[in-house]
């Protein structure tokens, strides 16, 4: 990295949780930027310290202010407590991060999520797009539907419980049934109005992502762009620079230059 960025640790208050977060800023505090970025990690115990999230925070903060944070149960965040479906879906924490980003930078947020973080960011964008908080959303191997079959969904919940720091105060079976019934990603995508960039890997190893990503993209009615990196896997290993270039080009095209004047 060129070293033209700086970061400072902060705390994000979201409901009962105090979540570790970091604000990465370019020199000059990104005065020329028209948006801020909120990074949401996937299902990794490293949280925002995952290598991909770390790379994006450093690389993208050369031009835009970037807020990264740990979801409950991940990274250095407190244990997740699930009392209702929303606790499992996480969207309110991304919205809290967007609120903090807007408060700190005075710029609307583009939500950027990897894997599970992409799904969560889609839900948050659909909820926050009419409040002035959310200007757009980027998913990185994160455009997928959760199973509509309660049995399949239960398998995902049980896998989730096997490695996340979590306490269940509702039966896993009921949680799985409600999530399967809600179909949250489809609802979010169909409601989305802000611009969407979906970046997918041609070597995606998860069949449920390969099965649903293109249909979901077609269902979106918002301004949308799909980029398939043919040689990329789910974690985009070896493709970080290409991924950064893709995101940078889209962000400039959507929110700066001539389009910036139209949106102001």
Query: Domain segments of the chain: what residues?
Result: 118-145+183-231
Mean pLDDT of 224-238: 97
Q: Which two tokens stand for residue 75?
A: 């990274």
Residue-averaged pLDDT of the chain: 93
Any idea which of 1-10, 21-30, 111-120 has the lowest mean pLDDT? 1-10
Confidence tier at 1 by pLDDT (50, 70, 90): very low
Specify which residues 39 forms β-bridges with.
68, 112
Share of the chain above pLDDT 90, in %: 89
What is the DSSP secondary structure assignment for residue 48, as one 8-state letter? G
Q: Distance of CA 24 to CAs 133, 213, 252, Å?
A: 18, 31, 18
Give yes or no for a contact between 161 and 218, defined as CB atoms under 8 angstroms apart: no
Give the pLDDT confidence score for residue 229 in this predicted structure.
Answer: 97
- Dist CA 188 CA 118 (whole Å): 11
- Dist CA 216 CA 186 (whole Å): 7
The alpha carbon dihedral of 257, 141, 39, 147 has a sign of positive
Give the pLDDT confidence score for residue 233 in this predicted structure.
Answer: 97
Give the global pTM: 0.93
Mean pLDDT of 101-109: 96
Relative to beta strand 66-69, strand 36-40 is parallel
DSSP per-residue codes, 29-45: TTTT-S-EEEEE--S-T
Give the pLDDT confidence score for residue 154 in this predicted structure.
Answer: 97
Residue of higher predicted confidence among 131 and 259: 131
* CB atoms near residue 163 (< 10 Å): 12
pLDDT over 50 at 259, yes or no: no
Angle between helices 91-105 and 116-128 (to 10 degrees): 70
Model pLDDT for residues 46-86, shown as the tens digit of each residue: 999 999 999 999 999 999 999 999 999 999 999 999 999 99
- Dist CA 107 CA 35 (whole Å): 5
Give the pLDDT confidence score for residue 260 in this predicted structure.
Answer: 45
Give the pLDDT confidence score for residue 87 in this predicted structure.
Answer: 97
- Dist CA 97 CA 93 (whole Å): 6
């Amino acid at each position: 990295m060129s070293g033209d960025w700086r970061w400072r640790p902060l705390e994000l208050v979201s409901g009962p949780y105090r979540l570790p977060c970091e604000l990465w800023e370019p020199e000059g505090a990104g005065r020329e930027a028209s948006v801020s970025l909120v990074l949401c990690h996937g299902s990794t115990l490293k949280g925002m310290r995952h290598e991909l999230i770390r790379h994006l925070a450093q690389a993208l903060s050369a031009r835009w202010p970037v807020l990264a944070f740990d979801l409950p149960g991940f990274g250095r965040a407190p244990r997740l407590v699930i009392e209702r479906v929303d606790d499992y879906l996480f969207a309110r924490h991304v919205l809290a991060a967007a609120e903090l980003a807007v408060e700190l930078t005075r710029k609307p947020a583009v939500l950027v999520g990897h894997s599970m973080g992409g799904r969560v960011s889609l839900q948050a964008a659909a909820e926050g797009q009419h409040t002035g908080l959310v200007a757009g959303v980027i998913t990185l191997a994160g455009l997928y539907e959760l199973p509509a079959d309660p049995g399949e969904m239960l398998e995902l919940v049980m896998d989730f419980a096997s490695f996340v720091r979590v306490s269940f105060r509702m039966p896993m079976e009921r949680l799985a049934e409600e999530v399967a019934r809600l179909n949250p990603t489809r609802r979010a995508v169909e409601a989305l109005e802000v611009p969407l960039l979906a970046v997918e890997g041609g070597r995606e190893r998860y069949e449920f992502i390969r099965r649903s990503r293109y249909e979901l993209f077609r269902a979106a009615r918002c301004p949308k762009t799909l980029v398939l990196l043919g040689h990329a896997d789910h974690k985009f290993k070896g493709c970080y620079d290409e991924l950064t270039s893709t995101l940078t080009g889209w962000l400039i095209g959507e929110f700066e230059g001539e389009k910036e004047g139209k949106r102001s």
